């Protein structure tokens, strides 16, 4: 998502990110942006004259809507629409029962309402949302470095990040944030607390928390620093010769992180790779291209974009795979979208990887940023992207509501008119995301497991267990029967409805879940995740499909070689 000319650039690339939920994602490509738009906030009432600041946005949205029609609306049509909107706002401002807050009406109502008439992925960012968007691009921010969430009506530490000020200071999962500096946060929202925790690098911040097992508040004095949020958080061996790498998103650093993690493992020792893109919402297109091309031959197509007013552009492998021929299994889920689908589609179309898991989300639209004054930005759909075989993976959103589009459980739709073929001749379809070569459906949770997870039993027991003691465990530690007995007693104390029979039936499953939560507190989320990976049934099942990936690759190479001889 990018551009230049008598126009100006919005950074060097645009990332996809989540704004209104797990599937509100955007794919970035370099395109040209329209002339700089002057849109600024104005205090007080807005009247006819003051509404002039909204004109550029309305014009941009109107022109975008016209891109689906045979021609572009005339300037008279646009002016008429603007006059109508202004008149409606004047009537509302003058006569509505309560005081009208212009910023809320415009930023949360008028602009999003207009964009929702276009497609599910065009979006408007106010200054706060734009800053979060930029943080996602950069992969870092200034603050104390911990994930917080709302639990039991309190903003609570979920876990501190490795190497962060919060981790070094000793904050733990389960700590309830009661005060930041001199401001009480017992009734604050998560967003409010996050804003208090962030700040310029090198500035002090005091955090007071309520910790299970402690009579008084525990106070921490921290100094804010740069917090890195790696997009490739895990790279481990799951079996001898079999590597596992998880790409969480595609930000500005992803390809470098990916390269570094493979180098750290020792890529020359890899006999098979499980590449996990599950629930990856997307990111910077160029980073998806960079990850894809290291497994493809020089000149092979990766992705192309086409739009009504943007020039068609094809991305191909420039470096080549440097002889890397080990088999790859790509794990995907319904939450894999955008740039994650670009990587998956490229490797599938060239038969370079075996795709394992669920049907992906189906997000094949490209957004361009239109920077606005007042530190706002408009992300507008300007093109669609296509996999190497030429299929459009965008799922249909013209029927039903956008809510249904966002949260539809089954995304496995096909456009039978968009039938293409991979390099070896396998049939693939567009119109509904990427269909896996091998489907995997995770076992459904039983009643007791739903109760334990839904009530946060493992999380709260861990907070209570470590509350009055040091949070540390020796190497090779595991949850023993004594801890399991304490856990069962805790469930009865908290009246979590799990019978003795159900507890016995789910003991091994519960032991694993409890081990991971307790390791998160004792040694960190990163180490806990590594332990989870090597015992994850779905990951191990994916690794069993590596021979299929090898056979697919070898067949494709033979067929391509035969075609070249003809």
Alpha carbons 441 and 2: distance in angstroms, whole number: 38
- 356: Cβ contacts below 8 Å, ≥ 6 apart: 329, 330, 331, 332, 436, 437, 438, 440, 541, 542, 545
Q: Which of 349, 351, 423, 437 is catalytic?
A: 349
510 in catalytic set: no
Q: Which of 363, 423, 464, 510 is catalytic?
A: 363
Helix (H, G, I), strand (E, B) or coil at 195: helix
List Cα–Cα distances, 155 to 25, 180, 352, 479, in angstroms.
26, 12, 45, 28
- DSSP-assigned states of every residue in 144-166: --EEEEEETTEEEEEEEPTTSHH
Alpha carbons 310 and 508: distance in angstroms, whole number: 56
| Tokens, residue 411 | 């995304």
Task: Identify whether the C-beta of residue 392 lies closer than 8 Å to the C-beta of residue 431.
Answer: yes
Helix (H, G, I), strand (E, B) or coil at 75: helix
CA 306 to centroid of chain Cα atoms: 24
349 in catalytic set: yes
Burial of residue 48, with CB atoms counted within 10 A of its CB: 0-12 exposed, 13-18 middle, 19 or more buried: exposed
Q: What share of the chain is helix, strand, coil (3-state, %, to 5)?
A: 35, 20, 40
The pairing of beta strand 218-223 with beta strand 204-210: antiparallel
| Tokens, residue 360 | 């992906």
| Tokens, residue 531 | 């332990």
List Cα–Cα distances, 431 to 163, 356, 412, in angstroms.
43, 19, 9
Burial of residue 391, with CB atoms counted within 10 A of its CB: 0-12 exposed, 13-18 middle, 19 or more buried: buried
Q: Residue 267 — φ and ψ, nearest 5°?
A: -65, -25
Burial of residue 225, with CB atoms counted within 10 A of its CB: 0-12 exposed, 13-18 middle, 19 or more buried: middle
Closest CA to 145 of 191, 185, 197, 186: 197
Task: Identify whether the C-beta of residue 547 lies closer than 8 Å to the C-beta of residue 327.
Answer: yes
Q: Where are the alpha helices (H) located in 328-375, listed in sequence order?
A: 339-349
Task: Identify whether the C-beta of residue 533 lies closer than 8 Å to the C-beta of residue 539.
Answer: yes
Q: Which of 17, 231, 292, 338 is catalytic?
A: 338
The catalytic site residues sit at 338, 349, 363
């Amino acid at each position: 998502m990018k551009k230049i000319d008598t126009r100006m650039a919005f950074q060097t690339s645009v990332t996809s990110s989540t704004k209104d939920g797990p599937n509100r994602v955007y794919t970035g490509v370099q395109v040209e942006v329209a002339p700089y738009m002057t849109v600024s906030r104005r205090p007080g009432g807005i009247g006819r004259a003051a509404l002039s600041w909204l004109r550029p946005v309305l014009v941009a949205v109107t022109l975008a809507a016209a891109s689906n029609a045979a021609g572009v609306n005339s300037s008279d049509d646009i002016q008429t629409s603007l006059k109508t909107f202004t008149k409606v706002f004047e009537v509302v401002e003058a006569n509505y029962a309560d005081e009208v807050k212009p910023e809320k009406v415009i930023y949360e109502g008028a602009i999003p309402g207009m964009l929702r008439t276009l497609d599910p992925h065009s979006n408007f960012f106010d200054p706060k949302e734009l800053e979060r968007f930029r943080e996602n691009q950069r992969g870092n921010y200034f603050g104390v470095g911990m994930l917080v969430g709302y639990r039991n009506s309190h903003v609570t530490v979920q876990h501190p990040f490795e190497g962060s000020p919060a981790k070094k200071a000793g904050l733990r999962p389960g700590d309830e944030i009661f005060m930041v500096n001199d401001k009480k946060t017992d009734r604050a929202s998560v967003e409010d607390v996050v804003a208090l925790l962030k700040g310029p690098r090198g500035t002090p911040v005091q955090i007071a928390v309520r910790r299970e097992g402690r009579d008084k508040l525990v106070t921490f004095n921290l100094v804010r620093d740069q917090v890195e949020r790696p997009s490739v958080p895990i790279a481990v061996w799951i079996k001898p010769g079999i590597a596992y790498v998880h790409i969480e998103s595609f930000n500005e650093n992803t390809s470098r992180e990916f390269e570094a993690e493979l180098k750290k493992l020792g890529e020359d020792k890899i006999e098979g790779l499980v590449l996990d893109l599950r629930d990856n919402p997307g990111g910077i297109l160029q980073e998806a291209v960079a990850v894809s091309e290291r497994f493809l031959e020089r000149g092979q197509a990766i992705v192309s974009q086409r739009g009504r007013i943007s020039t068609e552009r094809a991305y191909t492998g420039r470096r080549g795979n440097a002889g890397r021929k080990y088999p790859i299994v790509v794990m995907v889920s319904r939450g894999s979208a955008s740039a994650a689908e670009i990587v998956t589609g490229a490797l599938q179309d060239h038969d370079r990887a075996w795709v394992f898991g669920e049907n992906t989300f189906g997000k094949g639209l490209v957004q361009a940023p239109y920077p606005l004054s007042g530190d706002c930005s408009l992300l507008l759909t300007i093109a669609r992207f296509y996999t190497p075989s030429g299929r459009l993976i965008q799922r249909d959103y013209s029927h039903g509501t956008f809510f249904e589009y966002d949260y539809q459980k089954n995304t496995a739709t096909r456009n039978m008119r968009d039938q293409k073929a991979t390099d070896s001749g396998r049939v693939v379809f567009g119109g509904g995301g990427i269909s896996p070569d091998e489907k995997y459906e995770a076992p459904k949770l039983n009643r007791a497991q739903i109760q334990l997870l839904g009530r946060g039993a493992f999380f709260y027991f861990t907070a209570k267990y470590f509350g009055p003691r040091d949070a540390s465990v020796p190497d090779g530690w595991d949850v023993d029967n004594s801890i399991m007995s304490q856990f069962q007693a805790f469930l009865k104390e908290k009246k979590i409805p799990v019978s003795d029979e159900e507890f016995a039936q789910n003991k091994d499953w519960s032991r694993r879940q409890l081990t991971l939560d307790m390791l998160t507190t004792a040694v960190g989320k990163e180490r806990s995740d590594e332990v989870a990976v090597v015992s994850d049934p779905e990951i191990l099942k994916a690794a069993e499909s590596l021979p299929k990936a090898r056979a697919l690759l070898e067949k494709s190479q033979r067929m391509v070689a035969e075609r070249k001889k003809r």
